[in-house]
Amino acid sequence: MALSLQRYTESYDDNLLYLLKERRRMEKERSMNIKKGDHMPESLIIEILSWLPVNDLLRFKSVCKSWYAIISSSDFISNHLKNYYNNNYRWRNCLLFHHYVSYGELQLHELLLDETPRVIADEVLYNIPIYCSYICGPCEGIYYLNEHNFCARALWNPVTNELIHLPPLVAKPNLPSNICYMHVEGYGFGLDPLTKDFKVVAIKTHCTTTGEDLPSMYPHSVYVYSLWTNSWRYIGDLSRDFRLQENKCYTYSNGFYYWLGSYKEEDVRKEVVISFDMATDVYKEMHVPDYSQPSSNCIGIYDECLALLTFQTIDKIFDIWTLKEGSWIKKLTMGPLPDIWNPIGHWKDNCILLECHYGKLVLLDSESQELKDLAYQYERTCRGVFAYMESLVSIKDKTMPGLQLEELKPEHDQSCCKN
């Protein structure tokens, strides 16, 4: 799925042709600089390489042994990742748009945007390793895939095409034979900031195999997968019967993954934010601000903080709240916005993605408080929008020594049963 504008060359859009011409010009300049690098100091060569696209670097590994060693080193990969965040090449404006095609079927589109921003090309990603799967990420360029129908799970770097299938979950101890896991699960994906280990969190709800009412003694079970050990651990149960909202954007930040959830207390449903600490494997409940109802809402990241995005469905007012030092602060209020239906999440530079009626995406520039039509129309409900990120980070290098990616085969979670 590596990003390649060559597949859009049949388009005659002026903006797209301009982007292609600019890309070819800059690639030619980079190539000339590299060819002149015979007499450059190694530190300067490393600096130049650290700003190049991943696909170029993968090819440059074959230039010589020294370049292979440079590009493969952990220090270089870390520096390249940092430069990537600061790199605003126009052709890197890419989003992965996730939506329902029909009941039970998901489809992933790659959207290429210009600087306006406006979608100038899109393509269905049929070659995703686990088709019809939920995605979560990117975390350092790595995505988590969760198959919709069969509970297969994998980690994937779409640029290097590295893929590792996660082993199946093993039911927690002492679970009766007539109790199994429901098909739907809450999930999260992130990086342990202390050990640099990729982790996946799976929150499994239960059901009975006979269709009887589920006894209240079986709360949601929490499992954590570690890439280092290539294994799952059951770490306990949630304290309440939470209903977790599906995240429509990637909500990992500073070592924590977040969900918006709710629970019932005395016939009143109360909302909370649930955080999971990737370093300690501990979850925590946090209150939400007192915002106007009825509203459609979601969580995202704004000013590098957790944010609650709320849209009042009657007054058509949109608010952004951020959580700092345990307190919610209202950062922005806009409206009325009559065409907006639902907030989706965040994108770069504190821009917010919103969903309109009739299947249209718009971008809210929080600095200018302008709504920008992305010129993208779809027929089905949006499942989520995620940034596309290129990375040299290797999944293989973070597994236990001796674990071979090609030996791992996709397996289905044998403990799953459908709703």
Contact, 259 vs 243, CB < 8 A?
no
Whether 75 and 128 share a structural domain: no
For residues 387 and 323, membership in a common domain is answered with yes
Out of 62, 85, 108, pick the residue that ends a domain. Answer: 85
The string of pLDDT tens digits covering residues 208-249 is: 877 666 766 677 899 999 999 999 999 998 888 888 998 999
Question: Domain with 141 in it: what CATH number?
Answer: 2.120.10.80
Residue 34 has a pLDDT of 57
Residue 33 and residue 131 share a domain:
no
- Residue 195 to residues 73, 167, 199, 236, 275, Cα–Cα distance (Å): 18, 21, 11, 22, 19
pLDDT at 39: 66
Do 72 and 97 sit in the same domain of this protein? no
Whether residues 53 and 146 share a domain: the answer is: no
Whether residues 21 and 151 share a domain: the answer is no
Cis-peptide into 138, omega within 30 deg: yes
Q: What is the pLDDT along the chain (419 residues), one digit of tens a residue?
A: 554 444 444 444 565 566 556 666 666 666 555 555 556 788 888 888 888 888 889 989 988 888 999 999 989 999 998 887 666 544 468 999 998 887 768 899 999 998 889 999 999 998 899 988 999 999 999 999 998 866 789 999 998 889 999 999 887 777 887 777 776 788 999 999 999 999 999 998 887 877 666 766 677 899 999 999 999 999 998 888 888 998 999 999 999 999 999 988 888 889 999 999 999 999 999 999 999 889 999 999 999 999 999 999 999 999 999 999 889 999 999 999 999 999 999 998 899 999 998 889 999 999 899 999 999 988 778 899 999 988 999 998 766 544 444 433 333 343 333 33
Whether residues 75 and 98 share a domain: the answer is no
Please state whether 49 falls in left (phi above 0), alpha (psi between -120 and 50) or beta. alpha
The answer to whether residues 206 and 341 belong to one domain is: yes
Residues 228 and 324 in one domain: yes
Residues 261-319: tens digit of each pLDDT: 998 888 888 999 999 999 999 999 999 999 988 999 999 999 999 999 999 999 999 99
- What's the pTM value of the predicted model, to 2 decimals? 0.85
**C-alpha separations of 9 from 56, 114, 121, 126, 324 in Å:** 19, 15, 10, 19, 46
Place of tokens 């670097």: 57
58 Cβ contact partners less than 8 Å away, ≥ 6 residues apart: 159, 160
Q: Are residues 38 and 116 in the same domain?
A: no
pLDDT recorded at residue 48: 87
One domain for residues 62 and 130: no
Q: Which structural domain, as residue segments, surrounds residue 118?
A: 93-417
Domain boundary among 34, 57, 85: 85
Q: How many domains does the chain contain in total?
A: 2
Domain end position, chosen among 61, 85, 109: 85
Pair 218, 293 in one domain: yes
75 vs 41: CA distance, rounded Å: 18
